[in-house]
A and B are shown apart, each in its own frame.
Chain A
Amino acid sequence: MSSGFTIEEPRSVDEALTLLAQGDETVRAIAGGTGLSLLMKYGFFEPATLVSLRHLRSSLADIEVTPDGGVRLGAMATLRDLEDAPIVAERLPLLRQALGRLATVRLRNAAQLGGAIAHGHPQMDTPPVLLALDAQVQVASIRGARTIAAQDMFLGYYETAVEDDELILEVRIPPQGEHRATYRKITARAEDDWPMLGIAALVATDGGRISRARVALGALTDRPMRLPDVESALQGSDPGSDEVEAIARDAAAALDLYDKPAASAAYQRHIVAVHLRRALLEILDLGDGSSKGGR
């Protein structure tokens, strides 16, 4: 329990970066505050200074198509902004689908994309989606700017590649081309909950064959993971239902899982096999293997 903190409200990115560059890890950016306030409530994090990003929103919340046909997402766009953006609906339906079941509208109205990345909680919906989309995260500090691939972003429990003095400014999604993708969110108890498992799967096809496959799982361990074996099994192939089933089963069998209060390792493994198969069948247009419901 902290005995108090101050809130700074910088007017420019430079000002914000300067504030963050004090070499003090109790100085932290606060975006929507939805993640941070829980950590503070439980006493896991006791800030000395919170650097509010609210005045930076006007310049860093844009959502636009880049000249190469990719999408640029301002890090201070709220999750609701993203969900409502026609560009996201049109070009990144996978992201939109995932946001639709991310907590509640109330939360999505507050939480920002930058926070959803930097929070680094393992049970989140956006990280596997960003992995599947090959997202590139642009960060800056007074030391300079750099790009972190989503792949390299998530390092563990509340741990990301973003340094204490860095701010996420935007996320770039490369052009996805013609593709099909789906996100499956499985919760262990109430429907509205942090995911017990999130599966983001995406395939681009070229002349009947899969030209690019991306499969990422979230919430199973301390960080989201791509499934390279699954991706390479799919890449260049035109699998039928039986092959898909085998791919999903093998992928689930290879996972290193552990029992949690919300689900045993055995059930997690089983549920990955079932839903990975269904996700792949769905995007490969092979039916989803259940009839209805079956989320």
Chain B
Amino acid sequence: MPKEQVGRSVPRVESEAKVTGTVEYIHNFELPGMLHAKLARSIVPHARITGIDVSAALAVPGVRRVITAEDVATVTAVDYMGPAFLDQPVLAIDKVHFVGEPVACVIADTPRAAAEAAELVVIDYEELPAVFDEVEAAGPDAPVVHDRVEAAASFADLKGLGDVRDTNVALHYKLRRGDAEAALEDAAHVFEHTFRSTPNVHATMEPFVAVGEIGDRGDITVHAAMQNPSIMQVELARLFDIPENKIRMRTAFLGGGFGAKLYVKLEPLAAVCAMLMRRPVRIALTMEEQFVTLTRHGSTITLRTGVDADGRILARACDVTWNTGAYADIGPRVAQKSGFTAAGPYDIEHVSIDSKCVYTNMPPAGAYRGFGIPQLSWAYECQADLIARELGIDPLDFRDRNALRNGRPHATGTTMQGIATEVVLASLREQMGWDTELEDRGEGTIKRGRGVGFGLKAVITPSTSVATVTLSGDGSVQVACGTTDMGQASVSAYAQIVAEVLGLQTEDVVVHHPDTRFTTYDMGTLGSRSLWHNGNALIQASNEVRAELLASASDQLGVDVDELELSGGGVVAKDGTRRSLAEIMLGRFGMQAGNIIGRGEYTPTYDKPDPETGQSDNVAAFWMVGACGVEVSVDTESGKTTIDRLVVIGDSGRPINPDIVRAQFSGAAIMQIGMARTEELLHEQGQLTTTGLAYYKVPGILDVPRDLESVVVDLPLDGDAPFGAKGVGETGSFAVAPAVANAIHDAVGARVTTLPMTDERIWAAINDASADRSAG
């Protein structure tokens, strides 16, 4: 019997090419005659542009052209783009809204000449008052970032956004379940805390890059490091008012994405440059420029929580403000789709949520692995510990007591199914040895402690994936779909799925990178959705191939279809007759020729939530539960803190490839150590002061906990789950920062409320706590 392809840690098919350096990244892609573009960016946070002088830039040898919004308008049909709001121009039109906003673009023979010239573009400004803080920006007297923006109509889940005028609040999402205010009145204990998180940067190793190219039929090709080629195809078709079949978006393996390479980035500009120059144009950003291109939302979150005498959470009112910067990007979806989980992974009868996506004069914020959950959990999982402490309840018991379980309604009104909350929490208890006291509490100035946290995320719903599976005359199989492999190993997992259905080995199946000339629509590689959505499409497509193959085989062998199976790379009949796929194809086409093409399409069911209350019977295709436990050592004298141990646990359904799932969990958790401990994006009047990896410290190998465990809770799911699996790309990100804060609190009795929790802040918190103790 051949081994199963699904559910096994099949070695990743892409690894060898990656470690031997033969993988294609768009960053290394070149075309004959290619020119190079660099951006001149705004140096002020908010201003009217009163003049742009490009003469000095044009005088630089090698410079071909310097373009501004005026030149862009000669080739585009509309001025503004964006997935939620039409607020993003290709190059700034009349106004700039943040430091770093692209204003002019220099196109030259070499990147060096373009960069030199970009610095010589003189932009005159009439400065306007600016606002940087999200709470201030949402207030009544704040400077308004955009005079007016229109809602985009691109996405089913964002239909219903209204145009925005005279306010920075792009979206105010509301959820009402029960009567939170009344229940808070009556609760035995009421807790109110405000938590703030600062923005972070994805810091992908491969910075943004796009190469635009014009074809001989007026068609546009953009080769780009991007996570959603289909959406870019739609955006560009709209921008230029040409049909989608004349827009080709191609990508390759990405050197990291994490949500940064979604929606409008460099692709439109690369296309515009290529159109204006009639030559290929490459635009590649530096690491520093990445920082002004997209960030993760900073946020301010106030939670008011009513708890009864037994430690049951009765009511929670959440006030969440997201700093989406000057372009909303996908911020409105963060505010809405993650906003509705702001009350946490808890079973609470009375919930009210106000989640506001607010414009400021900061660089745009958008998707970032976890899509808002890490910010929300920073609030609700810190508060969980504060409540438990105050009430004298063990923090893990408190979570157990209040956790949302299958069969119970979520705050959105959707009945939970397919979440492994109990098993995840039980596993956390076991892995952390929670029921016995922490053995090593430290000695001397070192105090040790432990803490936990967990979180819940709903997959963005609804969305669509279409996939095709093609069998060739020699029996080999290729897969064309819209998922970008940015390190999550989709090319391996998808090959496993197709191989499983067709009775092949994983290595026999090649999964192509998206190229919209032949790969099909997919909403994007984001939000842990791909395995579920494309997985379904691939199973369907593979089954179509299977059915046709078996029908052919049945004709050729004169055996009933029910008597035939696909196995071991061929068709096997009950009586033991075996034909390879190549033989069946030969029989069908008379020579080594032809194709069998299967097509699959998947869009989950969905009930649109009530716009006033957020209530829906079916708000998400699936939900993910992720937990984190840490042990820390704190030097009370210096504040020096080490995460000695980190346990990350998530529910995966049946893992398609357990090793990949484990790596996704641990990778996501390590990334969050940055938010928790090391990464801080500081600014002065909107000017970032910690751009680049010299100043913005991403965790390195020495920051990875010595003891790192990744635990997969692998209860297979039913329903739509492909082979019982669900998405896992973000699960490990859910609750790292609060677990660390809780562990520090456990160790030294002090609460750190500011991210990142640097040694100095921990030291200051210890000092404050001891001052409080001696005062009180």
A interface residue numbers (CB < 8 A to B):
1-4, 38, 186, 188-194, 261, 263-264, 267, 270-271, 274-275, 289-295
Note all chain A residues with C-beta closer than 8 A to B642: 293
A38-B694 contact in complex given A190-B703, A267-B763, A294-B635, C-beta closer than 8 Å: yes
Q: Does B381 contact A (CB under 8 A)?
A: no
Chain B contacts for A186, CB-based, 8 A = 638, 640
- Say yes or no: A3-B112 contact (C-beta < 8 A), given A189-B677, A264-B760: yes
> B678 at the A/B interface (Cβ < 8 Å)?
yes
Out of A38, A191, A194, A267, which one reaches B703, CB within 8 Å? A191
**Which residue from chain A places its CB closest to the CB of B641 in the assembled complex?**
A293
What are the residues of chain B within 8 A of A271 when measuring CB–CB? Answer: 638
- In the complex, chain B residues whose CB is within 8 Å of the CB of A267: 639, 760, 763-764
Determine, out of B113-121, B262-270, B655-663, the stretch whose residues face the partner at the interface: B113-121
Are A290 and B446 in contact (CB-based, < 8 A)?
Answer: yes
CB-CB under 8 A from B700, the residues of chain A are: 190-192
Nearest opposing residue in chain A for B692, CB measure: A42
Q: Which of B405-413, B437-445, B500-508 contacts A (4 or more CB under 8 A)?
A: B437-445
A275 to B759, CA, bound (A): 14
| B464 at the binding interface (Cβ < 8 Å) | no
Whether the Cβ atoms of B115 and A1 lie closer than 8 Å is yes
Chain A residues with CB under 8 Å of B702's CB are 190-192
User: Given A190-B700, A191-B702, A192-B700, is A293 in contact with B115 using a C-beta cutoff of 8 Å?
Assistant: no
Q: Mark B93-135, 1 if CB is under 8 A from A, else 0.
A: 0000000000000000000110110010000000000000000
CB distance from B575 to the nearest CB of A (A): 62
Chain A binding surface SS class:
loop
The chain B residue with its CB closest to the CB of A194 is B694
- Please give, as numbers and ranges, the residues of chain B lying within 8 Å of A291 by CB-CB distance: 442-446
Q: A1-B116, A189-B680, A295-B640 are in contact. Are A261 and B758 (CB under 8 A)?
A: no
Q: Is B637 an interface residue (CB 8 A)?
A: yes
Interface string of B647-682 (1 = CB under 8 A from A): 000000000000000000000000000000111101
How far is A292 from B637 in the complex, measured between Cα atoms in Å? 12
Chain B 441-457 interface 0/1 with A at a Cβ cutoff of 8 Å (1 = within) = 01111100000000000
Contacts of B445 in A (CB 8 A): 289-291, 294
Task: Please list the 6 inter-chain residue pairs (A to B) with the smallest Cβ-Cβ separation, ordered nearest first.
Answer: A291-B444, A191-B702, A189-B697, A190-B697, A189-B678, A192-B700
Interface contact B112-A290, CB-CB below 8 Å = no
Closest to A294 in B: B635
CB–CB A294/B446 < 8 A = yes
Task: Report B-chain residues with C-beta under 8 Å of the C-beta of A193.
Answer: 697
> Cβ of B604 < 8 Å from any Cβ of A?
no
Interface pair A290/B756, CB less than 8 Å apart? no
Compute how far the CA of A295 lies from the CA of B119 in the bound complex, rounded to whole angstroms: 43
Cβ-defined contact, B112 with A1, below 8 A: yes
Residues of B680-707 whose CB lies within 8 A of A: 680, 682, 689-690, 694-695, 697-703
Q: A141 to B60: give the CA distance in the assembly, Å.
A: 37
A3 to B764: give the CA distance in the assembly, Å: 48
Check A263–B442 contact: CB distance below 8 A: no
A189/B758 contact (C-beta < 8 A), A270-B763, A291-B442, A292-B446 known: yes
**Cα of A152 to Cα of B689 in the assembled complex, Å:** 32
A261 to B703, CA, bound (A): 20
From 128 to 182 in chain B, residues with beta carbon under 8 angstroms from any chain A beta carbon are none
Q: Can you sample 28 A-B contacts with CB below 8 Å?
A: A1-B112, A1-B116, A1-B119, A2-B116, A3-B60, A3-B112, A189-B678, A189-B758, A190-B678, A190-B697, A190-B699, A191-B702, A193-B697, A261-B695, A267-B639, A267-B760, A267-B763, A267-B764, A290-B635, A291-B442, A292-B444, A292-B633, A293-B633, A293-B640, A294-B444, A294-B635, A294-B638, A294-B640
Q: Which residues of A contact B763 (CB under 8 A)?
A: 267, 270
Please judge, given known A-B contacts A38-B694, A189-B697, A267-B763, whether A290 and B637 are in contact too, CB under 8 Å. Answer: yes
CA distance A294 to B446 in the complex (A): 8
Q: From residue B621, how far is it (CB to closest CB) to chain A in Å? A: 38
Which residues of the other chain, A, contact B444 by a CB distance below 8 angstroms?
289-292, 294
Complex alpha-carbon distance, A270 and B764, angstroms: 11
Contacts of A290 in B (CB 8 A): 444-446, 635, 637
B625 to chain A, nearest CB (A): 30
Interchain nearest-CB distance for A184 vs B (Å): 11
Evaluate whether A190 and B635 lie within 8 angstroms (CB atoms) in the complex, with A267-B760, A294-B445 already known: no
Tell me the minimal C-beta distance from A281 to chain B in angstroms: 12
B112 / chain A contacts, CB cutoff of 8 Å: 1-4
Report Cα–Cα, A267/B689, bound state, in Å: 21
Question: What distance in Å separates the Cβ of B437 from its nearest Cβ neighbour in chain A?
Answer: 19
Partner of A293, one of B635, B678, B695: B635
Chain A CB within 10 Å, residue with most, of B60, B443, B445, B679: B445
C-alpha spacing A290/B763, complex, angstroms: 15
Supposing A267-B760, A290-B445, A294-B638 touch, asked if A190 and B694 sit within 8 A by C-beta, the answer is no
| Docked pose: A264 CA to B758 CA in angstroms | 12
Given A1-B112, A193-B697, A290-B444, decide whether A274 and B759 contact each other with a Cβ distance below 8 A: no
For the complex, what is the distance from the CA of A3 to the CA of B446, rounded to whole Å?
54
- The CA-CA distance from A189 to B698 in the complex, in Å, is 9
- Across the interface, name the chain A residue whose C-beta is closest to B60: A3
How far apart are A295's CB and chain B's nearest CB, in angstroms?
6
| B689 close to A261 (CB less than 8 A) | yes
Rounded to whole angstroms, the CA-CA distance of A270 and B640 in the bound complex is 12
Contact call B446/A188, Cβ cutoff below 8 A: no
- Residue in A closest to B702 when the chains form the complex, CB atoms: A191
User: Which residue on chain B has the smallest CB distance to residue A292?
Assistant: B446
Task: Give Cα A4 to B119, complex, Å.
Answer: 16
Chain B residues lying within 8 Å of A191, measured Cβ to Cβ, are 700, 702-703
* CB neighbours of A292 from chain B (8 A): 443-444, 446, 633
Most A CB within 10 A of own CB, among B640, B679, B701, B758:
B640
Of chain B, the residue at the smallest CB distance from A271 is: B638
A271 to B640, CA, bound (A): 10
A186 and B758 CA atoms in complex are apart in Å by 12
**Quick check: B760 and A3 within 8 Å, CB to CB?**
no
Give me 15 other A-B pairs in contact (C-beta within 8 A), A1-B116, A294-B635 excluded: A1-B115, A189-B758, A190-B703, A191-B703, A193-B697, A267-B760, A270-B638, A270-B763, A271-B638, A290-B637, A293-B446, A293-B635, A294-B444, A294-B446, A294-B637
A52→B763 CA distance, assembly (Å): 46
Given A291-B444, A293-B635, are A3 and B116 also a contact pair (CB < 8 Å)? yes
What's the nearest-Cβ distance from chain A to residue B43, in Å?
A: 14
Complex CA distance for A191 and B697, rounded to whole angstroms: 9
Complex formed: what's the CA distance from A129 to B465 in Å? 60
Q: How far is the CB of A292 from chain B (nearest CB, A)?
A: 6
Known: A190-B699, A191-B703, A294-B445. A275 touches B760 (CB 8 A): no
* Residues of the A chain whose Cβ atoms lie less than 8 Å from the Cβ of B678: 189-190
CA distance A102 to B13 in the complex (A): 37
Interface residues of B in 47-77 (CB under 8 A from A): 60-61
B638 nearest in chain A by CB position: A274
Q: Which residue of A lies closest to B696 (CB)?
A: A189
Most chain A CB within a 10 A radius of its CB, from B61, B694, B760, B763: B760
A188 to B60, CA, bound (A): 42
* CA of A193 to CA of B8, assembled, Å: 39
State the CA gap A295–B759 with chains docked (Å). Answer: 12
CA distance A220 to B749 in the complex (A): 30
Say yes or no: A189 contacts B756, CB within 8 Å.
Answer: yes
Q: How far is the CA of A293 from the CA of B445 in the complex (A)?
A: 10
> What A residues does B446 contact at CB under 8 A?
290-294
How distant is the Cα of A1 from the Cα of B700 in the complex, in angstroms?
A: 30
Q: How far is the CA of A193 from the CA of B698 in the complex (A)?
A: 10
Q: In the complex, what residues of B have CB within 8 A of residue A2's CB? A: 112, 116
Contact A263 B760 (CB under 8 A): yes
Q: Shortest CB–CB separation between residue A60 and chain B, in angstroms? A: 29
Which chain B positions have C-beta within 8 A of A261?
A: 682, 689-690, 695
| Residue among B637, B640, B698 making CB contact with A190, cutoff 8 Å | B698
> In the assembled complex, how far is the CB of residue B324 from the closest CB belonging to chain A, in whole angstroms?
25
**Which of A190, A274, A295 gathers most chain B CB within 10 Å?**
A190
